[in-house]
Amino acid sequence: MGLIGVIGKQLQHPRGLLGKALFAWMTPKTIEHARWTADLMEVQPDDDLLEVGFGNGANIELLAERTSKGHVRGAEISKTAIEMASRRNARAISEGRVTLHAAAGGSLPFDDGAFDKACTVATMYVIGNPGTVFKEMHRVLKLGGLAAVTFPVRENFMRFKPAQTDGFHLHELADLEAAFRDAGFVETRTERNDAVRFGAHCMLGRKAASE
For residues 148 and 123, what is the distance between their CA atoms, to the nearest angstrom? 12
- Choose between 124 and 146: whose C-beta lies nearer to ligand SAM: 124
Query: Of 14-33, which residues contact ligand SAM (CB under 6 A)?
Result: 14, 26-27, 30
Stretch that binds ligand SAM, among 89-97, 102-110, 163-171, 198-206 (CB under 6 A): 102-110
**Interface with ligand SAM (CB under 6 A), residue from 64, 75, 163, 196:** 75
- CA angle, 127 as apex, 105 and 23 as ends, to 5°? 85
* Residue 123 sits in the site that holds ligand SAM (CB under 6 A): yes
Crossing angle of helices 16-41 and 58-66, rounded to 10° = 30
Q: How many amino acids of this chain bind ligand SAM (CB under 6 A)? A: 25
Residues 38-67 that bind ligand SAM (CB under 6 A): 52-55, 59
Q: Are 60 and 85 contacting, i.e. CB atoms less than 8 angstroms apart?
A: yes
Which phi and psi (to 5°) does residue 60 adopt? -60, -45
Residue 61 CA to residue 182 CA, distance in Å, equals: 31
Strand boundaries in 2-102, DSSP class E: 48-52, 71-76, 98-102
User: Contact between 10 and ligand SAM (CB under 6 A)?
Assistant: no
Which residues of this chain interact with ligand SAM, rule CB under 6 A?
Answer: 11, 13-14, 26-27, 30, 34, 52-55, 59, 75-78, 81, 104-106, 121-123, 126-127
